[in-house]
Amino acid sequence: MRHSWKSLLLLVIIVAGSTAGSMASPNLEEDLCGNWQRACAELWGNGSKRWRACMGQPQAIHDCQGSSDVCGIWHIACVRLYGWSTSKYRSCMRQPQALRDCGLH
């Protein structure tokens, strides 16, 4: 039940973010991937196992496909290739360019 509640909250955050205006980001439609990343990080902690699961949802993958966020692109590619909780996924995300693009190197 708790997982369903958090999933519903995530959906509300993303929908509200994509429809409401903001001084910092007047056109949030263009940053749907960033909305997913922020919402998943707020719920589960950035880079955590549950964050990866959150970002591995079909709509998150769809919204991040055309993103200019190179870290998000790495995440999507590694999830598609290896799944989100595998050692191969972790190896994929530890590649030198992935680390640089995600600001971890």
Structural domain that includes position 19: 2-101
Q: What average pLDDT does this structure show over 17-38? A: 60
Q: What average pLDDT does this structure show over 71-77? A: 86
* pTM, rounded to two decimals: 0.49
Q: Encoding tokens for residue 36?
A: 């997913």
pLDDT at 26: 36
- pLDDT, one tens digit per residue, over 34-68 is 898 889 989 998 878 888 889 888 888 888 877 77
Q: How confident is the model at residue 91 (pLDDT cuts 50, 70, 90)?
A: very high
* CA dist., res. 6 & res. 26, Å (int): 26
Number of domains in the chain: 1
* CA dist., res. 81 & res. 46, Å (int): 21
